[in-house]
Structure 1
Amino acid sequence: MEAILKLFGEYFFQFYKMSGYDRVLRTLGGNLMEFIENLDALHSYLALSYQEMHAPSFRVERGADGKMFLHYYSDRSGLCHIVPGIIEAVAKDFFDIEVTMDILDMNEEVEMTGKKEHVVFLKAYRKKRKAKSKRLQDSQGIERDQEALQAAFLRMKEKYLNVSACPVKKHHWDVVRSIVMFGKDKRVPIYPERLWIEEKTFCNAFPFHIVFDESLQVKQAGIQLDEYFSIIHPQVTFNIFSICKFINSQFVLKTRREMMPTTLKFRGNNSLLSCQMIWMESVQCMVYLCSLKLRSLYEDLILLNQQRLAKIELSNQLEMKKKEELRVLSKHLATEKNKTETLLYAMLPKHVANQLREGEFKSCTILFSDVVTFTDIRAACEPIHIVNMLNSMYSKFDRLTSVHAVYKVETIGDAYMVVEGVPVPTGSHAQRVANFALGMRISAKEVMNPVTGEPIQIRVGIHTGSVLAGVVGDKMPQYCLFGDTVNTASRMESHGLPNKVHLSPTAYRYALKNQGFEIIERGEIEVKGKGKMTTYFLIQNLNATEDEIMGRSKTPLDHKGKQKREALPLVLSSFSTNHLRYV
């Protein structure tokens, strides 16, 4: 698990860099030491920006022998192994050096916010091996080197564990020297015998400095520091021990509201002190050099406005990106639409294709049919027998579509579907479909069941209603119908009886009633997804003979025996049935 977390740290750094934040990271320092020392400041800023973030804390300790110890604090245990992956990746990428971060100690400490995981890392440089012409030493010599290295590491770990947990600086001039000599060659500063600055001048230069001792007693004001202030950052217990541990961090103190004057207590303003702690070994006191920041409503508004401007800028960038993506998608859509239109116009006359592309039809009639017990037949027969049966049935049904001028939509397995009234509206669409259904029932008697040798039985369902139609798709453009009419027609078929033509109440009342057909009422039934419905059975056409229904006369008939089919559906009949589907 440790290896996985370390690899995650390396990957996270690369991801952060590729996301364009490498310039932000490079500002943390000109070398690896400065980078590590500023890690805590970076996480403090992130925690301020993202309130839900549980940011870890870091502090750097320099050993007497020049070693560097990195202290890691986090209220989420088990994630410390990510740190070596990030630090080693930063050292290699930013500073072209190879280091290792080894764990010296790992424990839990109780701080102001509760228990925190405390891990101590030792930074060590990894030596680069130079190419040699000779072979490496034998395995025995390598083992001796490894044993010596392990022993040295154990001695260093033991030495560290014996060091006081409250590290201090040798002299406060060390801090001054590090500030003055930042980024320059290290030179030995000249320490004066006495400080050439008057107390008054010093207090005027640093009007808000505080000097307190180990008991947090403010020497100059004579007050108890922790009675008047609380620590905002870092989140540690307010005592000299915790302050010494984070002496390299920036401390932010906040005045306690209950200790403020009555005139300021209810104004909502809090004083924030922000600067560096410096331990003065000679007098055993801590000096806090800071600037006083009175937080007012005006400054809060400025801060909120800057945050708002940043959010607006980010939103504008995202909007521009989305607009560009939408423009590209619109361009691709127009290209594909042109391809679809070109293909459709190549297959049909342009005026016919335009009628097919879109339209809402107030009234049409849809028919579904299937073979009763087809599943049992399929299970008991060879595939070739099923193919022969379906081919014989479909051939007879296809001939009837020309007889009654209805359009075959598709066949799926044993299911057969036709429609009339789309795309050219006709006043007799229900009568045409009804005559076609009667012909299907007669034709089914001529198709034999390969299992029993007897004629097959079919169920037929019919419904009349409105649909929305249009051409969809680009690979194989299909003329699709959408609406509840399709679903209801399918329900009429599935709730029908063998060798019966099942009519919905709409098909009966508004299309076939008093149109020369014999129709009987089935009664009220429960239809899936529709509730209770009163349905009907179509028995026969009272004005047409069986030969006329089957198209054995010279002129194809509708229910009146005279009307012929319009030209457009005949054109559509030459358009492959695979291009017309209904949903």
Structure 2
Amino acid sequence: MAANDLLWKAVGRPQHIAQAEFIKLQTVARKLHGTEVDMEILKTREECDHVQFLITEKSQSGKCRLPQNDQVEILSLEQKISTATFCKVFPFHVMFDKDLKIIQTGFTLARVIPKVTSKDCRVGDILDTVRPHLELTFENILAHINTVYVLKTRPEVMRVNTSLDYRYLRLKGQMLYIPESNFVVFLCYPSVVNLDDLTRRGLFISDIPLHDATRDLVLMSEKFEADYKLTRNLEILTDKLQQTYRELDTEKKKTDQYGYF
């Protein structure tokens, strides 16, 4: 591929639909950027409607072109974030290679699922696919990289002392491909309903990072449950007061009858 080439993947679209979308891209390139582009089909997968295009900018004098590789400032290759920091910021992530061998996991996930730290542990050893309905392979993941994934822990992999109903954990998130290392990282969060649902699985509200919306959802659920309990108690108290009022009214009528006789 040349410096000005662009690789475009159309996932979940038939080839004729993807070609129609490319025509729209040509119009946008011409009207907004003043340039012409060509398209070449590189790869197709009929079983999953996966089409891969190579988009090339035509050479035009006087047109603004993308900078060549030798004109782009090369950034430092020094690692910008340490592994420990990444595992702390994303405590529920799972990173694995093309053989689905787990390379790295978040701190919290490693605590509740100790098996992930064992040698040669693979994704299929600890997690089953709930959604999407496909065989969990590296190729399938790349073909459905823009899909929301829901994975569920396999039986007896969580280290929690609770009933069987809570000895599993649903993880919901996205798959992110890292081309530099040919790894995939599953950035996810626990799918729980409330604080009780969280703690029964050996997790705490502090395990969920501040940037994760799951924390707010759990706290809002707790507030809603507290308000519901208060409303229910008020309804019960109101029913008791009404029952007491009816009993007093009945006794009053009896007293009035005895006084009349």
Shorter chain as denominator, the TM-score bin is 0.3 to 0.5
Q: Relative contact order: is structure 1 or structure 2 higher (C-alpha 8 Å, sep ≥ 6)? A: 2
Look at both structures and tell me which one has the larger radius of gyration over its CA atoms: 1
Q: Normalising to structure 2: TM-score of the pair?
A: 0.47
